[in-house]
Amino acid sequence: MRSRAVFVLGGPGAGKGTQCAKMVEHFDFVHLSVGDLLREERAKSPPSENAELIESFLKEGKLVPVSISLALVREAMEREKEGSVFLIDGFPRNGENLDGWKEAMEGVVNVCGVLVYDCPIQELQRRILSRGETSGRSDDNLESAKKRFKTFERDTMPVVRRMEEGGIKSVHIRGENKLERVWESVVASDVIGGNGVEWEKYGTNESGVEAIAVQRKESGKCTHYLKIRRLKPADSRSIESNQIIALPYAPLALHLTYLPLAFVTTLTLLVSSSDSTIKIYQPVLNNDGLFEEITDEGIREKLLPNLHQTFPSPVLTMDTLLTPSPPTSTSTTSTTSTTSPTSSTYHVSCGCRCGYLCLTSYDPQSPPSSSFTSWNIDGPISAVQVSPRSPSVGLTLLVSSLSGYVCVFSRPSRGGPWGEPEVLPESVNDDDPVLCVCKAPFPSLSGEALFVGTARGKGWSGQTETLIPTFNRVMLDTEQAENRVAILSASIPTFTAKVQELASDDAKFGDVSNKGCSPLFLVVRFGKAVGMVEGANSPALVELITEQIPELKEDDE
C-alpha cells in the first residue's frame, strides 16, 4: 500500500509538535518534524556540509532551500515501512516547498489532508518564550520568534490556502485552547478519521445530525467514539456543535429518528453496539446541540418497541441475488451469481445489525415491497449464510446473532415468501455462546471437522464483516460443507478465553490475549488450534481452510 501523509502546519509554538506526539501515542502514525530533522542535520558529527547554512536560516527564521529539507524528509520516510502514515510537521512552509513536494512525491505518497493549528500571535509568543527557557533552541528568543511569525504569515498561510484551493482537505484546529481541548478536536477531525483510524460515517440525515464512529487505540486497547455533529438545517456544512460520545464497544448500527417520548416527538439517536445493547440518545433539552444518553428504564421501555418501525430498511445491506431454483446435486453456486432473465429473482436483504433482519422475496414483475418481512433476531446479527443446496426446501438462510441464536429461514424452491424463523436447537456447545453459521449442528470442537472462529467483536466489526462473502463462498463451494467446516463467531471475552485455551500450549501463536484491534481467525481441528490468521486477510484464510479441511467421506456421498 502506498504511504500517506498528513501535513501539520501552524505558527511557531502553535502546538504542532505536542499534538503530533499525542497522535503517535494513540494512532499508528510516524511523526516527522522537519524542524527536528534540520536541527539533527545541523548537529551531526562529522558536520554535514549544510550545517552552517541551516544554522543561519534557522536563526533568521527563514526557510531553508527545499532541496535540503525535502531530502531529509525523504530519507526519513525511506527508513519506515511501506504504507506508513506520516505526520509531516512544519512542511510545506512556502510555495517552493509545495512545488518541491509535488515534483518529487506526487504519485509516491498520497496526501490525505492538512491539519492547521490556528493560534493568536500573543499566545505563540508566550509559548515560544516559555519553551525557550528549557529548549536550548537558538531560535526560541524574541528576536528570532518575531521573524518566524512574519515568515509564517507571509509564506506559510498562502500555501495553506493554495492547498485548500487545490482540493487538499484541511482541518483548522484552535490551537490556543487547553491541550486536552485541542486534542479532542484532533480526534474528531476528518483528516485523522480517514488515516489509519478506523471510522465509519453515518450519512447526514435530514434531521441535521451527522455521526461518525471513530475507533482509537489506547495502549493496545480500542476505544470507540461517536462524533455527533448537529448541523444547521439550512446549511449542512456549518457545524453548530460537535459532541464526542465514548462507547464501550464498536457501534454496529446507528439510526436517527423521531420517536414519541411522552407527548413530545423528539429527535432520537439509536445506536446498537457489539455488546448487544441499544443505546438511546436525545438532545439535551436546553439545546446547545449536545446529546445525552437515556438510561431511564421507563423511557427505554417506551421507546424500544418503536425500534421495529424505526429500522425499516437495512442499515447494513448485504444484497444477495440468488437464482430461484436450487442447483442440481452439489455443483457450486456463488452467492453473486447472476440471475437468468426468465426466472424470478429473489432478493435477500439482511442487515440492521441492531438485531433486525429484513427479508424480501419478490418477483421482478411485482413491487419489491410486496413481500417485505422483517424479523427480530435477538441481538446484533453476526453472520448470515445462504444455502441453496437442499432441493426439498429450496433456499435456506441461516442467521446467527451475537446473543447465541441461530435461526433458519426457508423458502420453497420455486419462490414464495420466507417462512417463519426456526431457532436451531443447539449451538456448537451448550455452555458456550460461540455461534455456528453452518447448517447442521456442528459435531463438537474436538471433532475431526474444522472450525474457524472469528473474534467478531474483537476488532472493528466492519473489517470482520468484509469476510462474510468469503465465509459464504467457502460454505457454498465446499462439498458437504456442513459436515466439514463450521464458521463461528464469538464475543471478545468468550473468544479470547477460547483462543487461549486452544492455542495456549503452542508458542507459534504468541500471546493470543493481546492481538490488538484487528479481527482474529483461529482455525481448529481435533480441538487444537492449527492456524491463525490476523486481520481481514481473505486469501490467507481460504488457503488455511483449504489446507486443513478434512477429507470428503465417501460413504456420505
Ligand X SMILES: Nc1ncnc2c1ncn2[C@@H]1O[C@H](COP(=O)(O)OP(=O)(O)O)[C@@H](O)[C@H]1O
Ligand Y SMILES: O=c1ccn([C@@H]2O[C@H](COP(=O)(O)OP(=O)(O)O)[C@@H](O)[C@H]2O)c(=O)[nH]1
Q: Does residue 375 belong to the site contacting ligand Y (CB under 6 A)?
A: no
**For ligand Y, which residue has the nearest CB?**
35
Residue placing its CB nearer to ligand Y in the complex, 135 or 287 = 135
Select from 123-131, 153-161, 482-490, 532-540 the region that touches ligand X (CB under 6 A). Answer: 123-131
Say if residues 533 and 472 touch (Cβ distance below 8 Å). no
d(CA 486, CA 428): 9
- Selected from 19, 50, 97, 461, the binder of ligand Y by CB under 6 A is 97
Distances (CA, A) of 506 to 496, 503, 512, 514, 520: 15, 6, 10, 15, 16
Measured from the CB atom, the residue of 35 and 421 that comes closer to ligand X is 35
Q: Which of 3, 6, 15, 478 binds ligand X (CB under 6 A)?
A: 15
* 91 sits near ligand Y (criterion: CB under 6 A): yes
Q: In the chain, what is the straight-line distance between the N-terminal and C-terminal CA atoms, in Å?
A: 45
The letter for the amino acid at 100 is G
Sheet holding 291-293, edge to edge: 251-261, 264-273, 278-283, 291-293
- Counting contacts by CB under 6 A, is residue 182 touching ligand X? yes
- Return the range that interacts with ligand Y (CB under 6 A); candidates 91-99, 171-179, 232-240, 420-428: 91-99
Element (H, E) at 243: strand 235-247
Smallest gap from residue 333 Cβ to ligand X (A):
59
Site string for ligand Y, 139-158 (x = CB under 6 A): x--------x----------
| Cell representation of residue 166 | 487545490
Cell numbers placing 421: 424463523
Binding ligand Y by CB under 6 A: which of 15, 29, 31, 90? 90
Q: How far apart are CA 112 and CA 105, in angstroms?
A: 13
Cell numbers placing 430: 451448550
Interface residue with ligand X among 17, 251, 289, 531 (CB under 6 A) is 17
Cβ proximity to ligand Y: between 64 and 436 the closer is: 64
- At residue 50, φ and ψ (nearest 5 deg) are -95, 0
* Residue 379 touches ligand X, criterion: CB under 6 A: no
Residue reference for cell 429500522:
311
Applying CB under 6 A, which part among 62-70, 236-244, 309-317, 471-479 lies near ligand Y?
Answer: 62-70
Q: What per-residue string of b and e applies to 229-248 under the rule 16 or more CB within 10 Å gives b?
A: bbbeeeeeeeeeeebebebe
Other CB atoms within a 10 A radius of the CB of residue 2 amount to: 9
Q: Are strands 450-455 and 520-525 parallel, antiparallel or unpaired?
A: antiparallel
Q: Which is nearer to ligand X, 18 or 538 (CB)?
A: 18
Which of the residues 120 through 139 are near ligand Y (CB under 6 A)? 139
CA angle, 319 then 466 then 502, to 5°: 130
Q: Choose the one of ligand Y, ligand X, none that binds residue 57, judging by a C-beta under 5 to 8 angstroms depending on kind.
A: ligand Y
Stretches 22-30, 87-95, 319-327, 430-438: which one binds ligand Y (CB under 6 A)? 87-95
Name which of ligand X, ligand Y, none residue 251 binds, using a CB cut-off of 5 to 8 Å depending on partner kind: none
**Using CB under 6 A, which of 62, 74, 131, 137 touches ligand X?**
131
Per-residue interface string for the shown chain with ligand Y, residues 424-443, x marking contact by CB under 6 A: --------------------
From ligand Y, ligand X, none, which one binds at residue 182 (CB under 5 to 8 Å depending on kind)? ligand X
Residue 90 and residue 34 in contact, taking contact as beta carbons nearer than 8 Å:
yes
* Peptide bond before residue 46 is cis, with ω within 30 degrees of 0: yes
Type of residue at 80: E
Q: What's the CA dihedral at 494, 497, 499, 501 to 10 degrees?
A: -140
Among residues 148 and 224, whose Cβ is nearest to ligand Y?
148
What distance in Å separates the CA atoms of residue 510 and residue 505, rounded to the nearest whole number? 10
| Options 43, 179, 246, 552; binder of ligand X; rule CB under 6 A | 179
Residue 18 near which of ligand Y, ligand X, none (CB within 5-8 Å, type-dependent): ligand X
Segment 22 to 61, residues that bind ligand Y, using CB under 6 A:
33-35, 38, 57-58, 61
If binding is defined by CB under 6 A, does position 113 make contact with ligand X? no
Q: Judged by CB under 6 A, which of 14, 66, 267, 520 binds ligand X?
A: 14
Angle at 395 between CA 394 and CA 396, to 5 degrees: 125
Which of ligand Y, ligand X, none interacts with 337 (beta carbon under 5 to 8 A by kind)?
Answer: none
Beta bridge partners of 185: none
Sheet with 435-436, strands from edge to edge, namely 435-436, 485-490, 450-455, 520-525, 528-534
Q: Least separation, in Å, of the C-beta of 34 and ligand Y? A: 4
Provide the 8-state DSSP code for 448.
S
CA distance 464 to 250: 12
Judged by CB under 6 A, does residue 64 bind ligand Y? yes
How many residues bind ligand X (CB under 6 A)? The answer is: 14
13 counts as binding ligand Y under rule CB under 6 A: yes
**Which residues are at the interface with ligand X (CB under 6 A)?**
10, 12-18, 127, 130-131, 178-179, 182
**Which residues are at the interface with ligand Y (CB under 6 A)?**
12-13, 16, 33-35, 38, 57-58, 61-64, 69, 90-91, 93, 97, 139, 148
